[in-house]
Amino acid sequence: MKTILVPTDFSSGSENALYYAIEMAKKTHAKIILFHATHLSASDYLVPFDVLQLEHEKAQKNSELKLKQELLKIAHSGNVECECIDAEEEIVSGIASKY
């Protein structure tokens, strides 16, 4: 089966890429993998751990909500198989480790 990897940061550009991938998946009978990655940057370590942990949990919940919204767009677009991955690592290493 063909697979289309769609990394997203929930920007308008990545939303356009998702719509393009949906149309391509319909025509080629491909599966879409929607991929979002979050990570802590070096500057985040200067913040107290409890504050950092709360911010990270809030960002994770927000990410999950946005991914569900993106999955709904795919579901309403037609018969397109989709998988969703929300990785807690840098985007490049996340993609490399999964694929």
Q: Where are the domains of the chain?
A: 3-98
pLDDT at 21: 92
97 Cα distance to chain centroid? 15
pLDDT at 1: 74
Is pTM, for the whole model, over 0.85? no
Query: In which residue ranges of the chain is pLDDT below 50?
Result: none
Three-class SS state of 68: helix
What is 3-98's CATH topology? Rossmann fold (3.40.50)
pLDDT at 87: 78
pLDDT at 38: 76
Express each pLDDT in 30-44 by its tens digit. Answer: 999 988 887 666 565
pLDDT at 24: 93
